[in-house]
Amino acid sequence: MTVIRWKRPFGLSVLSLTLALSGPAAAQDATIRIGAVLPVTGKESKIGGAFKAATEYAVKEVNDAGGLDVGGKKLKIELALLDDTSDQSRSAQLVEQLMAQQKVHAVIGGYGSQLVQAQSVVPDRYGIPYVSGGAGATSIYGRSKWVFGVLSPVENLASTQMDFLSDLVAQGKLKKPLKIALVIENTEHGKDFQKGVKDYAKAHPEFSVVLDESFELYAPDFTPLLGRVAAAKADLFMCDAHLEDFISMQRTYTQMGLYHQMLTYGARGADEAGRKGLGAATDYIFASGWWSDLLPYPQVKAFTAKWKAAAGSAPQWYHATAYEAVRALFAAIQKAGSLKPEAIRAALAAIELKDSILPGGVLKFTATGQAVLPFVVTQNKPDGKVDLVWPKAARTGEPVAPLPKG
DSSP per-residue string spanning 304-371: HHHHHHHHSSPPPHHHHHHHHHHHHHHHHHHHHTS--HHHHHHHHHH--BTT-SSTTS-B-B-TTSBB
Same domain, 166 and 136: no
* pLDDT exceeds 80 at position 144: yes
pLDDT in tens, 66-91: 999 999 999 999 999 999 999 999 99
- Asked whether residue 88 is assigned to any structural domain, the reply reads yes
Task: Out of 21-30, 256-265, 295-304, 369-378, pick the least confident.
Answer: 21-30
Q: How far apart are CA 191 and CA 214, in angstroms?
A: 9
Strand 286-289 and strand 376-380: the pairing is antiparallel
How many whole angstroms separate alpha carbon 134 and alpha carbon 123? 17
Domain co-membership, 309 together with 234: no
Find, among 75, 87, 189, the residue nearest to 137 by Cα: 189
Mean of pLDDT values over 111-120: 96
Same domain, yes or no, for 99 and 128? yes
Dihedral, 87, 92, 97, 100 alpha carbons, nearest 10: 180
| One domain for residues 198 and 285 | yes
Looking at the DSSP bridge assignments, the partners of residue 239 are 183
Number of residues that make up the chain: 406
pLDDT digits (tens, 9 = 90+) for 195-252: 999 999 999 999 999 999 999 999 999 999 999 999 999 999 999 999 999 999 999 9
**Structural domain includes residue 247:** yes
Q: Does one domain contain both 183 and 254?
A: yes
Residue ranges making up the domain that contains 241? 154-289+376-394
Percent of the chain with pLDDT over 90: 91
Query: Which CATH number fits the domain that encloses residue 107?
Result: 3.40.50.2300
pLDDT-based confidence at 17, cuts 50/70/90?
very low
Angle between helices 154-170 and 188-203 (to 10 degrees): 30
Burial (CB count <10 Å: 0-12, 13-18, 19+), residue 22: exposed
Same domain, 259 and 311: no
Looking at the structure of the chain, the number of domains it has is 2
Percent of the chain residues topping a pLDDT of 70: 93
399 in any annotated domain: no
Interval 306-334 mean pLDDT = 97
Could you say which of 350, 366, 386 is where a domain stops? Answer: 350
pLDDT at residue 271 tops 80: yes
pLDDT at position 16 over 70: no
Confidence grade of residue 401 (pLDDT, cut at 50, 70, 90):
very high
Per-residue pLDDT band for 351 (boundaries 50, 70, 90) equals very high
What is residue 13's predicted lDDT score, i.e. its pLDDT?
A: 40
Q: Are residues 77 and 29 both part of a single domain?
A: yes
- 372/80 Cα distance (integer angstroms): 29
Q: Do 40 and 84 have their domain in common? A: yes
| Position 43 in a domain | yes
At 27-66, the pLDDT tens digits run 445 899 999 999 999 999 999 999 999 999 999 999 999 9
DSSP one-letter code for 257: T
Helix (H) / strand (E) containing 5: strand 2-5
Please, which residues bridge with residue 68 across strands? 75
Arithmetic mean of pLDDT, 161-166: 98
- What average pLDDT does the structure give for the chain? 93
**pLDDT at 315 (0 to 100):** 96
Q: Please check whether residues 124 and 184 belong to one and the same domain.
A: no
- How far is Cα 254 from Cα 158, in angstroms, rounded to an integer? 23
Q: Computed over its alpha carbons, how large is the radius of gyration of the chain?
A: 22
Looking at the fold, whether 146 and 161 belong to one and the same domain comes out as no
Average pLDDT of span 345-364: 97
The answer to whether residue 25 is domain-embedded is: yes
Q: Same structural domain for residues 197 and 184?
A: yes
- At 372, give phi and psi (nearest 5°): -125, 100
DSSP assigned state of 268: B
pLDDT above 70 (res 12) = no
pLDDT computed for residue 29 by the predictor: 59
Distance CA 271, CA 6 (A): 35
pLDDT in tens, 282-307: 999 999 989 999 999 999 999 999 99
Q: Is the pLDDT of residue 23 over 50?
A: no
Q: What are phi and psi of 278, to 5 degrees?
A: -110, -15
| Best CA proximity match to 242, nearest among 219, 226, 262, 213 | 219
Any domain includes 339: yes
Answer whether residue 406 is part of any domain.
no
| Domain-located, residue 159 | yes
245 and 187 within one domain: yes
